[in-house]
Each structure stands twice: as C-alpha cells, then as structure tokens.
A and B are shown apart, each in its own frame.
Chain A
Amino acid sequence: MKERQFMFATIALIIGGMLAIQFETTNNPIVRDTRDLWELRADLEKEKQRQQELNEELERYSELLDQYQTEGKDEKIQAMEKALADLKKQAGLTTVSGQGIVITIEPFNNELIGVDRPLPTIDPDMMRRLVNELNRYDAKEISIDDQRIVSKTPIREVNGNIYINNEPVSSFPIEIRVLAKNNEKLHQKIIASPAVEEFVRENFLVESTPSAKVILPAFDKDMKVKFMKPAKEET
C-alpha cells in the first residue's frame, strides 16, 4: 500500500513538472535572437554609447552631490540656483546665441515651378521630420521663424497655415536657426538629408549657411506641466 502511494507520488511529481514546464512555455515562449552580425555590432555600439552616457551622467551627479555635501548653506543655495539656471537653459527658457547655422526655406521662383502655379504649402509632417533630423545630427537648440523649439513645441497645420508654438509662421522665407555641437558637420549633413529632399520635392528651396553668431529667442509661452509632482524631501 505504502509502495503504491510512493508510485502515485512519483507519477504526480513528473506530471507536475511537465505541467509547470508547459505552462511556462506557453506563457513566456523562448524568443529567438535573429539578429545578424551587423545588427549585433550596431546594437553593441549602441549599448556601449549608452554605457558611456550613463557613466557621464553618474559622474555629473556625483560631482553635484559632492558639491552639495561639502559646501555650506549659502553655497548650497548657489549650487541650486546654478542647477536651476542650467535646467532653464536646457528647457529652452533663455535666449541663447553662438556659432550656428541658418537654414532658409522658400518656394522656388516662378521660372522653375511655372508662372500660374499656386505657392506650395509646407506640411507639418515635413517640418517635424526636418526638426527630427536636425536633432539626429546633434542640434542643441533650434528655432523656427523666431519660435524656439522645446520638447513640448507643437507643429500643426491650421487652415492651411503652419503653426509653431501656436503662432502662425509668418511668410517666406522661413528661417530656421540651429546651434549644434558640430556646426560644420550639421551643415554638411542637413543639405543632403532626406527631409530636405522632401522639401525640394515639394518645390521649396532650402539653403543652409553657417553663421558666426545666431541668436535664438527664449521660449516665451507657459510651460504646462501635467504629470510631474514635486519630490518629497528626504528626512
């Protein structure tokens, strides 16, 4: 009788194991890695870059932490004010200037598109794509027609006009000012970029000129913060 119990228990154990494995298999199946050599290299590169960025961030924060800890109260406030000013600058709430490039967009002249053709219109998608591409080529600050592009800037079309930061873009030529890490590189890249080609296809002439000094206005609208809450102080 005892033997029989053990036999049942063993069989039940095997069944339990099988059930659990089957359950695991159906709920989280094995995903095969199908990346080829180049994809793997690219991913590795990406991860390395990410690691570097994270390390830099860590270093920056630990420096900041050191600063907070070592300095007295006044200096603490000073450091905070500096951090606040830095953040404001990062968020685009200050006017910035420096060496950069100026991109102008205007319709081709009449000889090229024909006399009776209506003026071409800019699609907000094209503009968004151009901004994305500028960001991809390491643009730090961008303004379009004196409207500063911040992380929450809307680019929309209203009644055939393009609106940036809820302000209509006045008239051609549209001027885009960009400050970049490497202006020369950005200049070279943007001229040959697919976004600019898209503009050309829609009968716009896009020109980019490096400039010794460009001034980008501050973002002057209210920055609506929807989801952030003040952090609680640690006690």
Chain B
Amino acid sequence: MWLPVLGLLLGLLLGFMSDIRVPPEYSNYLSIAVLAALDTLFGGIRAHLQGSFEDKVFITGFFFNILLAAGLAYLGVHLGIDLYLAAIFAFGVRLFNNIAVIRRLIISKWSDSRKKA
C-alpha cells in the first residue's frame, strides 16, 4: 500500500530536483500526458479493488493512453482543431468515474468489515 505512495513522492522529488523544464510549446502535451497517466493509475486502482486487474492491460494502457493523448493533441494542433479538449474531457470524466467507484468500493469494504466485527 505504501510503496506506490513512496514512488509518487520519490518521483516528485526527482522531478523537482532535476530542474528539467519543457519548452512552453510542448507543455500542453505534457499536461495531457499527466492527465492520461493519472487516469490509468486510478483505473488500475479500481481494477485492483474489483479484482479484475491485469498486468498487461495496465502497463499497455498506461503508455498507450499517454501516446494517444499526446498524439491527439499533436493532430489537433496541425488540423487547427482543439482536439486535446476531447482527450481532457474523456480522461476527466473517466477520472471522476473511477474515483467515485473507488470510493464506493472502499466504503462498502469498510462497512463490511465493521459488520463482521
């Protein structure tokens, strides 16, 4: 349980320490990639709680979603359509859904364990 949190903190620390900055014209892609990654992470947590977690799906989903989102944004820039909004919308909705499901699962687990006790 604590290992992923530790990983997140370590990642944040590394990111802040390394002082890497993205040129402003690419920061859009990075933000959308972050959103995609968060979506995958929460999707993974949800699948884990529901017992339907699969390694391959999770890993491929992570990279594929990031690439797809960035690719969509890239295509949007070249077509003159704000396609990245589509990705933001899709990932945003899924993020909320996933978090809602995770919350319900945790609440039901918690009330189950209380009933048993």
Contact = CB atoms under 8 A, between A and B. Distances in A.
Interface residues of A, number: 27
B44 to A, nearest CB: 7
Interface residues of B, number: 39
B105 interface: no
Contact of A21 (B30, B58, B59): B30
A120 interface: no
B30 A10 contact: no
Given A9-B4, A11-B44, A16 B9 contact: yes
Interface string B8-25: 111111111011111110
A20 interface: yes
Interface of B is mostly: helix
A7 B24 contact: no
Interface in A6-25: 6-25
Chain A to chain B: the 5 pairs with minimum beta-carbon distance, closest first:
A16-B11, A20-B15, A9-B7, A12-B7, A13-B11
Given A18-B33, A25-B22, 18 more contacts: A4-B53, A6-B3, A8-B7, A8-B45, A10-B7, A11-B41, A15-B8, A15-B11, A16-B11, A17-B12, A20-B11, A20-B13, A21-B30, A22-B22, A22-B27, A23-B15, A29-B24, A30-B23
